[in-house]
Chains A and B, each alone.
Chain A
Amino acid sequence: MKKVSISLYAAVTVALLIWGYYQAIFVAPNDAQQGEIFRIIYCHVPSASVAFTFFFINLVGCIGFLASRHDYPDRAQKFDAWALAGAEVGVVFCSVVLTTGPLWGRRAWGIWWTWDARLTTTLVLWLIYVSYLLLRRFAAGPQMQTLAAVLGIFGALDVPIVYMSNRWWRTQHPAPVFFSSAPGAGMAASMLRPFLWNMLAWFAWGVLILILRFHVERHRQQIAAREAEAALAEP
């Protein structure tokens, strides 16, 4: 049953991705100032939203693990699997953001990279979660999950500080298009609809990968637990 529903969900996701691509490339009109290159927003912004959401899932997983590791070991393992999946898939989406951003910046700004608030924050975020994954690699044994959870909390604490510090330092990234009262903010309906389709498609895709990664990690945990039990049972 679980397999069927995941396959069904995967099929819907692929259909959504194709539909989103069609909307972004063929339906949405050219931007008045930027022309074709603006279409990268249909991949860039959804990926950034997915990455930030998944890093938040990592934080929830870390806190949940620390809170339940003594009293509910099984639940704690689930939290840990969510934390790992969130960080790993989040890093992948963050890499997509860090790749598509410069591609756009090269055309729109004439430079690949600038040390602007949002760019630097995203890069530092990427560095923090890569170091989180490295810690999980390096630290062995059951204590690794606890240490990783603590580092995840530290990383999440750092994010607002990084953002504010860079904001005070310099800002060049385009002002937020959504939820902003600045003049020129907002999107024409002809662009908004493709954008929302793409948002939905990339989120569905991200959640699919997240769930698959979660299940892989759960399997690994169960195999490890069985092996530990078998080792104990041996005379």
Chain B
Amino acid sequence: MSALWTHLVKDLRIEWRSREAINSMLFFALLVVVLFSLAFDPQAAFAREIAGGVLCVAILFASVSALNQAWAREIRHQVLDAQRMAPTPGAEMFLAKVLANFLFVTIVQAILAPVFLVFYNLQILGDGWKLALVLPLGTWALVANGTFFAALSIRSRNRELLLPLILFPIFIPALLAMVLATGAILTGQSDPTLWIKMLAGYDIIFTTASLLLFDVVFHAE
């Protein structure tokens, strides 16, 4: 576990000094929210219907920009090669990256959510506390898969373009569950339990697969 801790502290320290990922994500997500509210001009009931989708898609687009940097940052000075030679299990390094990025995206969400409520004049009609389940579960699905695919696409041409191309199709069911659960909570018209369970299942399945296959991807020759 010490390797996990070392990598996590290193990633957090880099982010603390540069604040690249959080700032770019925050501004990008804010832009998407503003663009959507200008494009659709949402009013009370309609705003509640689409708000969940807008929030999820904004976070999805924003995190791709940060996830692209997650491993690309390590290419400079051949850090990636050094890590490949180090005897640490890849799974720990992967988990450290996921935890760090999960934290960044969660911070962005925490800042963005109040702005969002103001822009869309939202009142939560369902059980608001369930959002504290839905958003972390959805974020985990996004960040775990995104970190994995970022490592997968790191050595290809056009890697910044390739990441969304391979991440989005796989992420579709999680996005659907996240959007429907958020919508159900905001409108209070249906029960989000099924979608929360589905998100949890998705997280378990894909996190397990990522942990098992990460070494294969990381050491691919």
Query: Which of A124, A141, A143, A164 makes the CB contact (< 8 A) with B172?
Result: A124
B158 to chain A, nearest CB (A): 6
Complex alpha-carbon distance, A187 and B165, angstroms: 41
Q: Are A142 and B221 in contact (CB under 8 A)?
A: yes
Interface size class of A (residues with CB under 8 A): 20 to 34
Chain B residues near A154 (CB, 8 Å)?
170, 206, 209
For chain A residues 154-180, which have a beta carbon within 8 Å of chain B? 154-155, 157-158, 161-162, 164-166, 168-169
Q: Are A150 and B173 in contact (CB under 8 A)?
A: no
Whether B220 is near chain A, meaning CB under 8 Å from some CB there, is yes
Query: Which of A143, A161, A162 makes the CB contact (< 8 A) with B155?
Result: A143
Interface of B is mostly: helix
Q: Are A128 and B176 in contact (CB under 8 A)?
A: no
Q: Are A162 and B153 in contact (CB under 8 A)?
A: no
Q: Knowing that A138-B162, A142-B221, A157-B205 touch, tell me 4 more A-B residue pairs with CB under 8 angstroms.
A: A135-B166, A139-B156, A161-B198, A169-B176
Whether A134 is near chain B, meaning CB under 8 Å from some CB there, is yes
Chain A residues near B161 (CB, 8 Å)?
138
Interface positions of A (Cβ within 8 A of B): 66, 124, 127-128, 130-132, 134-135, 138-144, 146-147, 150-151, 153-155, 157-158, 161-162, 164-166, 168-169
Complex alpha-carbon distance, A127 and B165, angstroms: 9
Complex alpha-carbon distance, A143 and B217, angstroms: 9
Chain B residues near A135 (CB, 8 Å)?
152-153, 156, 162, 165-166
For chain B residues 4-48, which have a beta carbon within 8 Å of chain A? none
